[in-house]
Chain A
Amino acid sequence: MAEAEAKKTESQSRPALEVAPGPHVHHGALTTRRMMLDVIIALAPVLLVSVAVFRLYALKQIVLCVACCVAAEAVFDLMRHRRPKIDNLSAVVTGLILALSLPGTAPWYVAVVGSAAGIGLGKVVFGGLGHNIFNPAMVGRAFVMICFASAMGATAYQDETSAVHAVTQATPLTQLEQTGETTELWRLFVGNTNGSLGETSALACLLGGLYLLIRRSAAWQIPAGVLLATGALAVVQNAMNPGADWTAAHHLLGGALLFGAFYIATDPVSSPLTPMGRFIFGLGIGALVMLLRVFGGYPEGVMFAVLLMNSVTPLINRWTIPRPVGGPVERKT
């Protein structure tokens, strides 16, 4: 009797063992949330410069876009009877990138509609995070650009009556297109020019971009491809137009190129999977940006270049299946 009792307590005191397939350990430190947090940290210098240059214009746009994106994510999740997954921070990232790609002068409804369209049409209709084909922030921006052309066009960036100095000027690329006047390189580098909120400072984009690459939360092949293609085509363009003041360096530092290369094009969901695919994707964006800048109707082309390359990402994935170590498996046809 006592023996049976002892046996019983023994079996109860034994810890419950669980069974699960291996691997039984995980890297742990790396989560989707952490990757999104990295993007937010990397955006810090850009956010700081935009607030320093555009003051309340920037603050208003950033707060509005982030709040609307998070709210849109929550509402759409609830409509699909799912637990809102705003804790993965992806809506915050979309909101920040959308805000930083808008002109500070754009009225409040641009931010609201852009956020709703970015999250709704850009992400939720495809099935949510991980299923979207296009970069949600760029979908939102393209949507408001078509809906509110006058609020988003080149001239809308400028408000001569504004108390904020940067806003009283034309953007560097508009100035170039309309008057042929060139902005000094150091101003493009530091960022005290007019433009979309996040694009003006090359320095801030490079700093944040460097952080993303070191943390490996963005693939280096994408910005490398973008800068290489844009730089190479810009050199060719300069060679064909000797004497032009807008040099290859201006092309690289000006406009949304660096912001796009480091923060927009590197969105993992809408970019290819393999190192080679990512490089091709980057090259494509860089080449399209130059084509749109030189031949397009708009002064800038980063948004369209990213969206166009997003649409061919599945094809790039299929073309760049890596050769396995040991060679491909023989297939019966």
Chain B
Amino acid sequence: MTMAPEEIPGKGTFERGVHPAGRKSYAADTPIEVLPTPDKVEVPLLQHTGKPAESVVKPRQEVALGELVGKASGFISASVHATVDGTTQAVSVATLPNARHVQTIPIKSGEQPLAGDALKQDHFGGDWPSSGLEQHDVQRIRDAAADAGIVGLGGAAFPTHVKLSPGEAKIDTLLVNGCECEPYLTSDYRLMLEFPAPVVTGALLAARACGADRIVVAIEDNKPRAADAVRRAAEGTGIEVVEVETRYPMGGERQLTVAVLDREVPTGGLPMHVGVVVLNVSTAAAVARAVLRGKPLTHRVVSVTGRGLKRPANVLAPVGASYASLIEHCGGLTDDAARVVAGGPMMGFAVGDTEAPLTKGIGGVTVLTRDDVRTAEETQCVRCGRCVDVCPLHLVPTKMALAARNKDWEQARRYYLTACCECGCCAYVCPAAIPLVQLMRAGKAEMPPE
């Protein structure tokens, strides 16, 4: 049942989309635990949309947890910080699961003054005021987000201070995204359930920074306990908490803006063009921590989950920790583990090298078994139109994908290839097992500018 209250203009849902099995139960009931500090982390200088950060440390330099190691190089860029206490090593290169080769600053861990439960308390515990926030200057909130290197923690990793500085655009609503529509992932869910207070405080601060009068927290209706927790924490603040239908990809900002506000983000545009800023719940909590406590974004909650793991869990892990260290903490892989995915199974990237470092935008590590990933052999498209029936942007995936495969860019443009949000609904349903979204993703990268 969707409970769209009368007050929100949207219907609490969007047209089309798919209903993949949720599979949240692997880690949904495991409280957030803290990853034992790994021997070494590798902090990538580029883990966000935009320009890479520039290293500001030398090799063999002592750094403390939270110390700036890479400085943002422009407006659309984000700073990175040391995520452990330790000694830097020479700049290295890592291949992230999304196949980007990025420079990293490896840090060898030393003595950790802050670890274990104290680290979790430092992150989310203590008092989070929900009133008296007017004392924080608007520009100071934006600067704090920028200095803390905060990026969108829902997956796209877009620098948050950019969203909080809408410039000419008039923002009326801040949408706080607690949908977590990817199957398996439970990191946002655990955060909302265990620590709703920093989410609420962060939302109030972010709304102040972008000039929004209205704050709506949207949570899928398969997480009623999280919605209750946030609702209680938000009492008296004017924040509205709405439950939206559980339908993939509800967490996509285009879908969420339609579902909650009945506003369509223009193709090629941003939510700010229709007066909306969309912020993930974990991002909101990071904003609160940056503004009120001056702490940079060094750790994030990751759900390490799936049937391919011996002990699925939600882990507060330092950015730059290897996927291997997360898997090891969760009991290791089962014998039938087949694929380690950075992110959820719909939009995540398969990890080729488990020594690769965790980045800020990754909310989960999903380990799938051979049974989970079994796929059929690709056959000819019979134009059944199932992909059209599920595309949340009302595109015609089969035409776009086959045009991309044939490099027929005229046809690809006629069917709006660039509008595709790569959610993967089309490939998920295709009866002929055609890798539709994969072809479109490649086509978008390959298509020459008009």
Residue B386 at the A interface, CB < 8 A? yes
CA distance A90 to B266 in the complex (A): 42
List the A residue with the shortest CB-CB distance to B380: A130
Tell yes or no: B354 within 8 A of A by CB.
Answer: yes
Distance to closest chain B CB from A65 (angstroms): 21
Query: Across the interface, which residues of A come within 8 angstroms of B57, CB to CB?
Result: none
- B381: Cβ under 8 A from any A Cβ: yes
Contacts of B429 in A (CB 8 A): 27, 30
Contact B333 A15 (CB under 8 A): yes
**CB-defined contacts of A268 to chain B, threshold 8 Å:** 382-385
Question: Which of A15, A27, A322 makes the CB contact (< 8 A) with B335?
Answer: A15
18 contacts between A and B (CB under 8 A): A15-B335, A17-B339, A17-B351, A17-B354, A18-B338, A20-B350, A25-B368, A27-B20, A30-B431, A32-B431, A35-B431, A275-B389, A278-B385, A321-B396, A325-B394, A326-B264, A326-B265, A332-B450
Supplied contacts A23-B437, A32-B380, A35-B382, 15 more A-B pairs, CB within 8 Å:
A17-B338, A18-B338, A20-B350, A26-B375, A27-B20, A130-B382, A131-B380, A268-B384, A322-B396, A324-B267, A326-B265, A326-B419, A329-B416, A329-B419, A330-B268
Task: Tell me which of B29-37, B198-206, B232-240, B341-349 binds A.
Answer: B341-349
Chain B residues contacting A23 (CB-CB under 8 Å) are 345-347, 424, 427-428, 437
Q: Which 5 A-B pairs have the closest CB atoms?
A: A130-B380, A23-B424, A326-B267, A21-B438, A24-B345
Q: How far is the CA of A90 from the CA of B428 in the complex (A)?
A: 23
Evaluate contact between B393 and A326: CB separation under 8 angstroms: yes
Chain B: CB-nearest residue to A320: B396
Smallest CB separation, A21 vs chain B (Å): 4
The answer on a CB contact under 8 Å between B373 and A24 is yes
- From DSSP, what is the main secondary structure of chain B's interface residues? loop
A88 within 8 A of B: yes
How many A residues, CB 8 Å from partner?
A: 47
Complex: chain B residue closest to A23, CB-CB: B424
Least CB distance from B322 to A in Å reads 14
Q: B-facing mask of A312-333, CB < 8 A → 1, else 0?
A: 0000011001111111111110
Verify if A121 is at the interface (C-beta below 8 Å from B): no
Q: Which positions in B face A, CB cutoff 8 Å?
A: 18, 20-21, 183, 254, 258, 264-269, 333-341, 343, 345-352, 354, 366, 368, 372-373, 375-376, 379-386, 388-389, 392-396, 398-399, 413-416, 418-419, 424, 427-433, 435, 437-438, 441, 450
* Minimum CB–CB distance for B76 against chain A, Å: 22
Q: Are A25 and B372 in contact (CB under 8 A)?
A: yes
A131 to B432, CA, bound (A): 14
* A contact residues around B413 at 8 Å (CB): 329, 331
**B382 is contacted by which of A129, A321, A332 (Cβ under 8 Å)?**
A129
A19 at the interface (CB under 8 A from B): yes
Q: Is the CB of B269 within 8 A of A326?
A: yes
Given contacts A273-B398, A321-B396, contact A15 B269 (CB under 8 A): no
Query: Are A31 and B254 closer than 8 Å at their CB atoms?
Result: no
In the complex, which residues of chain B have a beta carbon less than 8 angstroms from the beta carbon of A88? 379
Q: Could you give, for residues 1-44 of chain A, a 1 whenever the CB lies within 8 Å of some chain B CB and a 0 otherwise? A: 00000000000001101111111111100111011000000000
Q: Point out the residue from B254, B388, B430, B435 that lies within 8 Å of A273, measured CB to CB.
A: B388
Task: Specify which of B267, B336, B354, B431 is in contact with A328 (CB 8 Å cutoff).
Answer: B267
| B-chain residues with CB within 8 Å of residue A14 when the two chains form the complex | 333
User: Contact check: which of A30, A321, A326, A332 meets B254 at CB < 8 Å?
Assistant: A326
> Complex: how many Å from CA A26 to CA B429?
6
